[in-house]
A and B are shown apart, each in its own frame.
Chain A
Amino acid sequence: MHYLTEKGFLGNKGRLIMDERLLIIIPAFNEELKIGTIINKTRDMFPDIDILLVNDSSTDKTPIIAKDKGVRVISHPFNLGYGCALQTGYKYAVAANYDYVVQMDADGQHDPQFIKRLVDELLKDEADLILGSRYLDVESYKVSLPRKMGVVVFSEIILWITGKKITDPTSGFQAMNRKVVDLYVSEYFPVDYPDADIIIFLLRKGMRIKEIPVRMYANNNKSMHSGLKPIYYIIKMFLVIFIGLLRYKKED
Protein backbone atom coordinates (compact mmCIF):
# COMPACT_ATOMS: atom_id res chain seq x y z
CA MET A 1 0.00 0.00 0.00
CA HIS A 2 1.42 3.39 -0.95
CA TYR A 3 0.37 6.55 0.73
CA LEU A 4 0.40 10.14 -0.20
CA THR A 5 2.39 11.34 2.79
CA GLU A 6 6.14 11.83 3.36
CA LYS A 7 6.92 12.81 -0.21
CA GLY A 8 5.26 16.08 0.35
CA PHE A 9 1.83 16.41 -1.15
CA LEU A 10 -0.36 18.87 0.66
CA GLY A 11 -3.49 17.48 2.22
CA ASN A 12 -6.98 18.90 2.64
CA LYS A 13 -6.71 22.55 3.59
CA GLY A 14 -2.97 22.25 3.89
CA ARG A 15 -2.87 19.19 6.13
CA LEU A 16 -1.32 15.89 5.21
CA ILE A 17 -3.64 13.00 4.61
CA MET A 18 -2.68 9.65 6.06
CA ASP A 19 -4.69 7.07 4.21
CA GLU A 20 -5.46 8.34 0.74
CA ARG A 21 -4.01 6.80 -2.39
CA LEU A 22 -2.97 8.22 -5.71
CA LEU A 23 -2.54 6.49 -9.06
CA ILE A 24 -0.65 7.87 -12.05
CA ILE A 25 -2.12 6.60 -15.31
CA ILE A 26 0.00 6.65 -18.47
CA PRO A 27 -1.76 5.47 -21.64
CA ALA A 28 0.79 4.31 -24.21
CA PHE A 29 0.84 3.05 -27.77
CA ASN A 30 4.23 2.28 -29.33
CA GLU A 31 6.32 4.62 -27.22
CA GLU A 32 9.40 2.43 -26.65
CA LEU A 33 11.78 5.34 -27.28
CA LYS A 34 10.29 7.61 -24.65
CA ILE A 35 8.51 5.47 -22.10
CA GLY A 36 11.64 4.48 -20.17
CA THR A 37 12.66 8.09 -19.52
CA ILE A 38 9.14 9.09 -18.55
CA ILE A 39 8.83 6.27 -16.04
CA ASN A 40 12.30 6.89 -14.58
CA LYS A 41 11.65 10.61 -14.16
CA THR A 42 8.27 9.98 -12.54
CA ARG A 43 9.68 7.27 -10.28
CA ASP A 44 12.56 9.48 -9.15
CA MET A 45 10.23 12.26 -8.22
CA PHE A 46 7.47 10.15 -6.63
CA PRO A 47 8.95 6.83 -5.48
CA ASP A 48 5.93 5.91 -3.37
CA ILE A 49 3.21 6.57 -5.90
CA ASP A 50 1.66 3.75 -7.93
CA ILE A 51 2.14 4.05 -11.67
CA LEU A 52 -0.11 2.27 -14.14
CA LEU A 53 0.79 1.98 -17.78
CA VAL A 54 -2.15 1.15 -20.01
CA ASN A 55 -0.64 -0.50 -23.06
CA ASP A 56 -3.04 -0.03 -25.97
CA SER A 57 -1.77 -3.17 -27.69
CA SER A 58 1.63 -1.77 -28.67
CA THR A 59 3.57 -3.71 -31.28
CA ASP A 60 6.96 -2.63 -29.93
CA LYS A 61 8.75 -3.08 -26.61
CA THR A 62 6.68 -0.52 -24.65
CA PRO A 63 5.04 -3.04 -22.25
CA ILE A 64 8.29 -4.97 -21.71
CA ILE A 65 10.24 -1.81 -20.83
CA ALA A 66 7.48 -0.71 -18.46
CA LYS A 67 7.31 -4.11 -16.76
CA ASP A 68 11.10 -4.10 -16.32
CA LYS A 69 10.83 -0.76 -14.58
CA GLY A 70 8.39 -2.34 -12.17
CA VAL A 71 5.28 -0.32 -12.96
CA ARG A 72 1.88 -1.94 -13.31
CA VAL A 73 1.03 -2.74 -16.89
CA ILE A 74 -2.48 -3.41 -18.17
CA SER A 75 -2.51 -4.48 -21.81
CA HIS A 76 -5.47 -4.23 -24.15
CA PRO A 77 -6.02 -7.35 -26.28
CA PHE A 78 -6.22 -5.11 -29.39
CA ASN A 79 -5.89 -1.42 -30.16
CA LEU A 80 -8.84 0.49 -28.73
CA GLY A 81 -7.73 4.14 -28.94
CA TYR A 82 -6.30 6.78 -26.61
CA GLY A 83 -9.57 7.57 -24.83
CA CYS A 84 -10.25 3.88 -24.23
CA ALA A 85 -6.78 3.36 -22.78
CA LEU A 86 -7.38 6.24 -20.37
CA GLN A 87 -10.75 4.81 -19.41
CA THR A 88 -9.25 1.38 -18.71
CA GLY A 89 -6.96 3.20 -16.28
CA TYR A 90 -9.93 4.90 -14.59
CA LYS A 91 -11.77 1.60 -14.39
CA TYR A 92 -8.78 0.06 -12.70
CA ALA A 93 -8.56 3.04 -10.32
CA VAL A 94 -12.20 2.47 -9.35
CA ALA A 95 -11.72 -1.30 -8.98
CA ALA A 96 -8.59 -0.84 -6.85
CA ASN A 97 -10.25 1.97 -4.91
CA TYR A 98 -7.86 4.86 -5.48
CA ASP A 99 -8.85 8.29 -4.18
CA TYR A 100 -6.97 10.40 -6.70
CA VAL A 101 -5.81 9.91 -10.26
CA VAL A 102 -3.23 11.76 -12.33
CA GLN A 103 -3.07 11.14 -16.06
CA MET A 104 -0.06 11.91 -18.18
CA ASP A 105 0.84 11.15 -21.80
CA ALA A 106 3.65 8.75 -22.65
CA ASP A 107 4.99 10.69 -25.63
CA GLY A 108 7.12 13.16 -23.70
CA GLN A 109 4.75 16.11 -24.12
CA HIS A 110 4.17 16.33 -20.40
CA ASP A 111 6.83 16.96 -17.80
CA PRO A 112 6.43 14.71 -14.71
CA GLN A 113 7.71 17.48 -12.44
CA PHE A 114 4.35 19.23 -12.83
CA ILE A 115 2.51 16.30 -11.26
CA LYS A 116 3.24 17.71 -7.84
CA ARG A 117 1.69 21.07 -8.71
CA LEU A 118 -1.41 19.40 -10.13
CA VAL A 119 -1.86 17.20 -7.05
CA ASP A 120 -1.12 20.00 -4.57
CA GLU A 121 -3.79 22.06 -6.28
CA LEU A 122 -6.22 19.13 -6.25
CA LEU A 123 -5.67 18.43 -2.55
CA LYS A 124 -6.68 21.98 -1.65
CA ASP A 125 -10.15 20.60 -2.40
CA GLU A 126 -11.16 23.71 -4.28
CA ALA A 127 -11.71 21.75 -7.50
CA ASP A 128 -12.53 18.19 -8.52
CA LEU A 129 -10.44 18.27 -11.68
CA ILE A 130 -7.19 20.13 -12.23
CA LEU A 131 -6.27 20.64 -15.87
CA GLY A 132 -2.72 21.39 -16.87
CA SER A 133 -2.97 24.16 -19.45
CA ARG A 134 -0.19 24.77 -21.96
CA TYR A 135 -1.74 28.09 -22.92
CA LEU A 136 -1.44 29.53 -19.42
CA ASP A 137 2.27 28.79 -19.46
CA VAL A 138 4.30 31.27 -21.49
CA GLU A 139 7.21 28.92 -22.05
CA SER A 140 5.23 26.00 -23.50
CA TYR A 141 5.76 25.24 -27.16
CA LYS A 142 3.78 27.21 -29.72
CA VAL A 143 1.05 25.19 -31.39
CA SER A 144 0.23 25.58 -35.06
CA LEU A 145 -2.24 28.31 -36.03
CA PRO A 146 -5.10 26.02 -37.20
CA ARG A 147 -4.84 24.03 -34.00
CA LYS A 148 -4.82 27.20 -31.91
CA MET A 149 -7.90 28.41 -33.74
CA GLY A 150 -9.64 25.11 -33.03
CA VAL A 151 -8.83 25.38 -29.36
CA VAL A 152 -10.13 28.96 -29.20
CA VAL A 153 -13.40 27.93 -30.89
CA PHE A 154 -14.01 25.04 -28.50
CA SER A 155 -12.95 27.17 -25.56
CA GLU A 156 -15.62 29.69 -26.60
CA ILE A 157 -18.21 26.93 -26.99
CA ILE A 158 -17.52 25.70 -23.46
CA LEU A 159 -17.77 29.28 -22.18
CA TRP A 160 -21.04 29.77 -24.03
CA ILE A 161 -22.64 26.53 -22.81
CA THR A 162 -21.35 26.38 -19.26
CA GLY A 163 -20.15 29.90 -18.46
CA LYS A 164 -16.70 28.59 -17.57
CA LYS A 165 -13.46 29.60 -19.26
CA ILE A 166 -11.23 26.64 -20.11
CA THR A 167 -8.11 27.58 -22.06
CA ASP A 168 -6.87 24.07 -22.90
CA PRO A 169 -9.74 21.57 -23.23
CA THR A 170 -7.54 19.05 -25.08
CA SER A 171 -5.09 18.79 -22.20
CA GLY A 172 -4.26 15.18 -21.34
CA PHE A 173 -2.34 16.28 -18.25
CA GLN A 174 -4.90 16.15 -15.46
CA ALA A 175 -5.34 15.41 -11.79
CA MET A 176 -8.75 14.42 -10.49
CA ASN A 177 -10.54 13.14 -7.46
CA ARG A 178 -12.75 10.10 -7.22
CA LYS A 179 -15.94 11.99 -8.14
CA VAL A 180 -14.51 12.77 -11.58
CA VAL A 181 -13.11 9.25 -12.04
CA ASP A 182 -16.57 7.85 -11.31
CA LEU A 183 -17.98 10.02 -14.13
CA TYR A 184 -15.10 9.17 -16.49
CA VAL A 185 -15.89 5.45 -16.31
CA SER A 186 -19.38 6.10 -17.70
CA GLU A 187 -20.34 5.31 -21.29
CA TYR A 188 -20.15 8.99 -22.22
CA PHE A 189 -16.37 9.00 -22.13
CA PRO A 190 -15.13 9.34 -25.72
CA VAL A 191 -13.08 6.46 -27.11
CA ASP A 192 -10.70 8.45 -29.34
CA TYR A 193 -9.75 11.89 -28.08
CA PRO A 194 -11.47 13.35 -25.02
CA ASP A 195 -12.03 17.05 -25.55
CA ALA A 196 -14.49 19.88 -24.96
CA ASP A 197 -17.39 17.40 -24.89
CA ILE A 198 -16.24 15.64 -21.74
CA ILE A 199 -15.38 18.99 -20.06
CA ILE A 200 -18.92 20.19 -20.75
CA PHE A 201 -20.26 16.90 -19.42
CA LEU A 202 -18.30 17.29 -16.18
CA LEU A 203 -19.31 20.92 -15.70
CA ARG A 204 -22.96 20.01 -16.24
CA LYS A 205 -22.64 17.30 -13.64
CA GLY A 206 -21.53 20.00 -11.20
CA MET A 207 -17.83 19.19 -11.11
CA ARG A 208 -15.46 22.03 -10.28
CA ILE A 209 -12.63 22.42 -12.78
CA LYS A 210 -9.53 24.50 -12.33
CA GLU A 211 -6.68 25.12 -14.73
CA ILE A 212 -3.08 25.68 -13.79
CA PRO A 213 -0.16 26.40 -16.12
CA VAL A 214 2.05 23.46 -17.05
CA ARG A 215 4.94 23.20 -19.45
CA MET A 216 4.31 21.09 -22.53
CA TYR A 217 6.78 20.15 -25.19
CA ALA A 218 6.21 19.87 -28.91
CA ASN A 219 5.69 16.40 -30.22
CA ASN A 220 6.45 15.92 -33.87
CA ASN A 221 5.71 12.26 -34.48
CA LYS A 222 2.03 12.26 -33.59
CA SER A 223 -0.24 11.62 -36.53
CA MET A 224 -3.35 12.95 -34.87
CA HIS A 225 -3.22 16.39 -36.43
CA SER A 226 -2.29 15.49 -39.96
CA GLY A 227 -4.16 14.79 -43.17
CA LEU A 228 -7.93 14.79 -43.00
CA LYS A 229 -8.06 13.96 -39.31
CA PRO A 230 -8.45 17.55 -38.01
CA ILE A 231 -11.49 18.02 -40.26
CA TYR A 232 -13.07 14.78 -39.07
CA TYR A 233 -12.19 15.79 -35.55
CA ILE A 234 -13.77 19.25 -35.69
CA ILE A 235 -16.99 17.92 -37.27
CA LYS A 236 -17.11 15.16 -34.67
CA MET A 237 -16.65 17.66 -31.83
CA PHE A 238 -19.57 19.80 -32.98
CA LEU A 239 -21.75 16.75 -33.40
CA VAL A 240 -20.80 15.25 -30.05
CA ILE A 241 -21.36 18.52 -28.20
CA PHE A 242 -24.75 18.96 -29.88
CA ILE A 243 -25.80 15.38 -29.13
CA GLY A 244 -24.45 15.78 -25.61
CA LEU A 245 -26.65 18.81 -25.04
CA LEU A 246 -29.73 16.86 -26.14
CA ARG A 247 -28.74 13.94 -23.93
CA TYR A 248 -28.20 15.87 -20.73
CA LYS A 249 -31.37 17.87 -21.25
CA LYS A 250 -33.30 14.61 -21.32
CA GLU A 251 -31.62 13.50 -18.09
CA ASP A 252 -32.25 16.81 -16.30
Chain B
Amino acid sequence: MAINYRIISIVVSLLFTGLILLFVKKECLNEKLAIFWLSLGIIMFLAAVFFDSLIYISLLLGIIDPNNLIFFGGIIFLLCFCLIVSVKISEFKDKIKILAQENAILKFEVSEIKKH
Protein backbone atom coordinates (compact mmCIF):
# COMPACT_ATOMS: atom_id res chain seq x y z
CA MET B 1 0.00 0.00 0.00
CA ALA B 2 1.19 3.50 -0.81
CA ILE B 3 2.72 5.24 2.17
CA ASN B 4 0.58 8.38 1.65
CA TYR B 5 -2.63 6.38 1.90
CA ARG B 6 -1.40 4.70 5.08
CA ILE B 7 -0.51 8.04 6.67
CA ILE B 8 -3.90 9.53 5.74
CA SER B 9 -5.70 6.46 7.20
CA ILE B 10 -3.74 6.65 10.44
CA VAL B 11 -4.35 10.41 10.79
CA VAL B 12 -8.10 10.00 10.10
CA SER B 13 -8.46 7.19 12.65
CA LEU B 14 -6.58 9.24 15.25
CA LEU B 15 -8.74 12.32 14.58
CA PHE B 16 -11.85 10.17 14.85
CA THR B 17 -10.73 8.72 18.19
CA GLY B 18 -9.80 12.20 19.41
CA LEU B 19 -13.24 13.54 18.45
CA ILE B 20 -14.94 10.78 20.45
CA LEU B 21 -12.77 11.53 23.49
CA LEU B 22 -13.69 15.20 23.12
CA PHE B 23 -17.40 14.34 23.03
CA VAL B 24 -17.03 12.17 26.12
CA LYS B 25 -15.22 14.99 27.91
CA LYS B 26 -17.99 17.44 26.97
CA GLU B 27 -20.56 14.83 28.04
CA CYS B 28 -22.32 14.83 24.66
CA LEU B 29 -21.94 11.06 24.43
CA ASN B 30 -22.87 8.59 27.15
CA GLU B 31 -20.35 5.98 28.27
CA LYS B 32 -22.09 3.01 26.69
CA LEU B 33 -22.01 4.54 23.21
CA ALA B 34 -18.56 6.03 23.79
CA ILE B 35 -17.09 2.58 24.39
CA PHE B 36 -18.74 1.37 21.21
CA TRP B 37 -17.37 4.24 19.09
CA LEU B 38 -13.95 4.15 20.75
CA SER B 39 -13.55 0.49 19.88
CA LEU B 40 -14.41 1.37 16.30
CA GLY B 41 -11.74 4.11 16.33
CA ILE B 42 -9.19 1.61 17.62
CA ILE B 43 -10.15 -0.94 14.96
CA MET B 44 -9.73 1.77 12.30
CA PHE B 45 -6.32 2.65 13.70
CA LEU B 46 -5.17 -0.98 13.83
CA ALA B 47 -6.42 -1.61 10.29
CA ALA B 48 -4.45 1.42 9.05
CA VAL B 49 -1.24 0.37 10.85
CA PHE B 50 -1.42 -3.35 10.07
CA PHE B 51 -2.82 -3.13 6.57
CA ASP B 52 -0.98 -6.31 5.57
CA SER B 53 -3.05 -8.39 7.98
CA LEU B 54 -6.16 -7.05 6.21
CA ILE B 55 -4.87 -8.47 2.96
CA TYR B 56 -4.42 -11.82 4.70
CA ILE B 57 -7.96 -11.76 6.14
CA SER B 58 -9.54 -10.80 2.80
CA LEU B 59 -7.71 -13.64 1.07
CA LEU B 60 -9.01 -16.02 3.72
CA LEU B 61 -12.57 -14.79 3.01
CA GLY B 62 -12.02 -15.02 -0.74
CA ILE B 63 -12.00 -11.25 -1.27
CA ILE B 64 -9.28 -10.22 -3.70
CA ASP B 65 -9.06 -6.52 -2.88
CA PRO B 66 -8.74 -5.69 0.87
CA ASN B 67 -10.48 -2.36 0.20
CA ASN B 68 -13.66 -4.31 -0.59
CA LEU B 69 -13.36 -5.97 2.80
CA ILE B 70 -13.30 -2.53 4.40
CA PHE B 71 -16.33 -1.34 2.40
CA PHE B 72 -18.23 -4.55 3.07
CA GLY B 73 -17.47 -4.44 6.79
CA GLY B 74 -18.29 -0.74 6.92
CA ILE B 75 -21.67 -1.12 5.23
CA ILE B 76 -22.70 -4.05 7.44
CA PHE B 77 -21.62 -2.10 10.49
CA LEU B 78 -23.54 1.03 9.48
CA LEU B 79 -26.66 -1.00 8.64
CA CYS B 80 -26.63 -2.67 12.05
CA PHE B 81 -26.05 0.65 13.72
CA CYS B 82 -28.99 2.25 11.85
CA LEU B 83 -31.19 -0.63 12.93
CA ILE B 84 -30.16 -0.23 16.56
CA VAL B 85 -30.83 3.51 16.36
CA SER B 86 -34.30 2.83 14.85
CA VAL B 87 -35.08 0.49 17.73
CA LYS B 88 -33.97 3.12 20.21
CA ILE B 89 -36.07 5.81 18.49
CA SER B 90 -39.17 3.58 18.66
CA GLU B 91 -38.48 2.98 22.33
CA PHE B 92 -38.13 6.70 23.00
CA LYS B 93 -41.27 7.46 20.99
CA ASP B 94 -43.26 5.07 23.18
CA LYS B 95 -41.81 6.56 26.32
CA ILE B 96 -42.46 10.14 25.15
CA LYS B 97 -46.03 9.18 24.27
CA ILE B 98 -46.65 7.81 27.77
CA LEU B 99 -45.05 10.87 29.36
CA ALA B 100 -47.08 13.28 27.21
CA GLN B 101 -50.34 11.47 28.02
CA GLU B 102 -49.63 11.39 31.74
CA ASN B 103 -48.50 14.99 31.69
CA ALA B 104 -51.74 16.03 29.95
CA ILE B 105 -53.89 14.14 32.45
CA LEU B 106 -51.95 15.50 35.45
CA LYS B 107 -52.18 19.05 34.13
CA PHE B 108 -55.93 18.67 33.85
CA GLU B 109 -56.22 17.22 37.36
CA VAL B 110 -54.10 20.04 38.82
CA SER B 111 -56.29 22.65 37.13
CA GLU B 112 -59.38 20.91 38.56
CA ILE B 113 -57.89 20.98 42.05
CA LYS B 114 -56.99 24.67 41.69
CA LYS B 115 -60.59 25.46 40.73
CA HIS B 116 -61.91 24.21 44.08
Contact = CB atoms under 8 A, between A and B. Distances in A.
Interface of A: 54, 72-78, 80, 84, 87-88, 91-92, 95, 187, 191
Q: Which of B94, B102, B103, B105 has the most CB of A within 10 A?
A: B105
A76 B101 contact: yes
A88 B105 contact: yes
A92 B100 CA distance: 13
A191 B101 CA distance: 12
Interface in B79-107: 94, 97, 100-105, 107
Nearest to B93: A191
14 contacts: A74-B104, A75-B107, A76-B100, A77-B103, A78-B100, A80-B97, A80-B100, A80-B101, A84-B100, A84-B101, A88-B104, A91-B101, A91-B105, A92-B105
A173 B97 CA distance: 23
Nearest to A92: B105
A75 B101 CA distance: 9
A95 B102 CA distance: 10
Contacts of B100: 76-78, 80, 84
Contact of B108 (A74, A78, A191): A74
B113 to A, nearest CB: 13
A152 to B, nearest CB: 31
A88 B108 CA distance: 12
Nearest to A96: B109
A74 B109 CA distance: 9
Interface of B: 94, 97, 100-105, 107-109
Given A88-B101, A91-B101, A92-B108, 9 more contacts: A54-B104, A73-B108, A74-B104, A74-B108, A75-B107, A77-B103, A84-B97, A87-B101, A95-B105
Contacts of A187: 94
Contacts, number: 36
B108 to A, nearest CB: 5
Given A84-B97, A187-B94, A77 B108 contact: no
Nearest to A54: B104
Nearest to B109: A95
A157 B109 CA distance: 41
A191 B98 CA distance: 11
Contacts of B108: 72-75, 92
Contacts of B104: 54, 74-77, 88
Contacts of B103: 77
Contacts of B109: 95
A87 B101 CA distance: 8
Contacts of A54: 104
Nearest to A79: B100
A73 B13 CA distance: 56
Contacts of A73: 108
> Which residue, B97, B101, B107, B109, has most C-beta atoms of chain A within 10 A?
B101
Nearest to A52: B108
A88 to B, nearest CB: 5
A206 to B, nearest CB: 26
